[in-house]
């Protein structure tokens, strides 16, 4: 049976934007040899699947610098230090990015998006009966288009590979699986 690795030493290596890169010196429980691993230390974030009052999913389209492309995705964002909890972050991000609000928000999953080298978690929420209450309140570095899409069309987009944002694909796939099983 495999065992966890022991961290012998951990040092902040460099801070870049929302990430701190740590260098962890670890010992293999199998070989006893020491190895260096670099870990991106980052705040966790939330994804929100907003279901409008007419049963459409409220999505956002925005440019992503990592892939140098436009992506269609569910709203979301980093959990700020001042946020009370992840559900409050979900409500805040939904309102800021889309102008929509919901009082019926349910947590459906928590995952490690890239556990090989990033230590944060991604939490997904479903926001039912979301309704438009204001205009967007975007940060200076955000340029977001709000798009409402029928749920059946999104299922086809998932199957056809039209949605390419990993966290969005995971969140929506889980949502539709839960809906099929009657656990949403």
Provide the token pair at 85. Answer: 């909890």
Q: How far is CA 24 from the centre of its chain?
A: 25
Instruction: State the DSSP code for 118.
Output: B
- Asked if 99 and 126 sit in the same domain, the reply is yes
For residue 184, the model assigns a pLDDT of 67
- Asked if 89 and 126 sit in the same domain, the reply is yes
- Asked if 58 and 80 sit in the same domain, the reply is yes
Q: In Å, how far are 57, 59, 175 from 49, measured between CA atoms?
A: 7, 8, 8
Q: How far is CA 34 from the centre of its chain?
A: 33
Structure confidence by residue, pLDDT tens digits, 69-82: 999 999 999 998 88
- Asked if 138 and 97 sit in the same domain, the reply is yes
pTM of the shown model: 0.91
- Asked if 12 and 27 sit in the same domain, the reply is yes
Residue 91 above 90 pLDDT?
yes
- What average pLDDT score do residues 34-46 get? 94
What domain range is 19 assigned to? 6-42
31-34 long-range Cβ contacts below 8 angstroms, 24+ apart: 34/8
Residues 94 and 101: beta-carbon distance below 8 Å: yes
Residue 50 above 90 pLDDT?
yes
- What average pLDDT score do residues 13-32 get? 92
């Amino acid at each position: 049976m495999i065992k966890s690795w022991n961290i012998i030493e951990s040092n902040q290596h460099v801070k870049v934007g929302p990430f701190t890169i740590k260098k962890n010196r670890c010992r293999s429980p199998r070989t006893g040899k020491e190895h260096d691993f670099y870990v991106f230390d980052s705040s966790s974030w939330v994804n929100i699947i907003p279901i409008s009052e007419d049963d459409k999913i409220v999505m956002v389209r925005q440019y992503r610098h990592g892939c140098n492309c436009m992506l269609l995705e569910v709203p979301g964002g980093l959990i700020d230090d001042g946020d009370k909890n992840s559900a409050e972050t979900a409500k805040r991000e939904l309102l800021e990015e889309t102008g929509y609000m919901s009082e019926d928000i349910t947590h459906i999953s928590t995952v490690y998006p890239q556990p090989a080298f990033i230590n944060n978690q991604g939490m997904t929420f479903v926001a039912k009966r979301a309704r438009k209450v204001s205009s967007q309140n975007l940060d200076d570095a955000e340029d977001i288009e709000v798009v409402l899409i029928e749920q059946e069309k999104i299922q086809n987009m998932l199957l056809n590979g039209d949605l390419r944002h990993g966290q969005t694909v995971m969140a929506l796939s889980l949502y539709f699986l839960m809906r099929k099983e009657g656990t949403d």
